[in-house]
Amino acid sequence: MNITAIIIDDERKAIAILKNKLKRYCPNINVIYETQDPVDGIKNIKELKPQLLFLDIAMPEINGFEVLKKFENPDFEIIFATAFDDYAIKAINHCAIGYLVKPIDNQDLISAVNNAAKNIENKSSLLKNKQLIENLGISKNSNKKIVIPSVQGLEFIKIEDILHCEGDGGYTKIHLKDAKPMLSSNSIGHFNKLLENNGFYLVHKSHLINTNHIEKYLNEGYVVLQNNIKVPVSRNRRVDFLKNLKN
């Protein structure tokens, strides 16, 4: 499918490189406008209504997240671009939104564009964008949510409701406080990167736990979580895990 797109990046060279890569590797993307000025970009998004927005995060005066907040119903798909901002990547990942790390890798670009095309077809952009805006305004984890793609669509799960994540091959079973477990096609490593700064700890190569739900630690090497869930702690991680708990 052909997709209309706008590029907003404060660096002229970055825009030129991205346009060249899109022409070579993603010919279905039709760039209808480009700008180094975020304010001008906001105006033209509203007028031209692109299906896809390539949006730099670190820009002077107005950053990429602030651009997004200017829209009441941001129903366009977004691929963020960032040079290094770890916090930004985690925020974006929470909401299953695409991003590219500069300098942009060709295969990463193709993959991000393909995912964006699927999301445009599924009309899932608005919900994800609104969740990102909501998360960015929350300072504590108690109300933050992550977005998990499922067979039915998208599941919006509060981080505080996750008891633990259990790796199973390349899949992950997500155990929740008051609901049935969910199965994600993402690996346990994906969730570890996503949640490690939100009170989660990888106690075993297959078990990532929410430390806020620990009820007791057993000397034989197990933690007991809410709902009486018993999770093994790897022998080589016990010392560091207990030290982490005390701190």
Instruction: Give the residue, 66 or 93, on which the prediction is more confident.
Output: 66
pLDDT confidence of residue 243: 87
Segment 2-28 shows an average pLDDT of 96
Segment 41-69 shows an average pLDDT of 92
pLDDT in tens, 131-159: 888 887 765 556 788 888 766 677 888 89
pLDDT in tens, 183-194: 888 889 889 888
Query: How wide is the angle at C-alpha 130 spanned by C-alphas 124 and 132, nearest 5°?
Result: 100
Segment 39-66 shows an average pLDDT of 93
Phi (first) and psi of residue 220, to 5 degrees: -75, 0
Q: Mean pLDDT for the chain?
A: 89
pLDDT in tens, 193-242: 888 888 899 999 999 999 999 999 999 999 999 888 999 999 999 999 99
Segment 87-110 shows an average pLDDT of 84
Enter the tokens of residue 201.
Answer: 């700890």
pLDDT confidence of residue 32: 98
Segment 44-59 shows an average pLDDT of 94
pLDDT confidence of residue 86: 67
- Give me the domains of the chain, ranges plus CATH numbers: 3-136 (3.40.50.2300), 160-246 (2.40.50.1020)
Crossing angle for the helix pair 86-94 and 188-195, nearest 10 degrees?
120
Phi (first) and psi of residue 18, to 5 degrees: -65, -45
Do 110 and 25 touch, CB atoms closer than 8 A? yes
H-run or E-run covering 8 = strand 3-8
pLDDT confidence of residue 140: 56
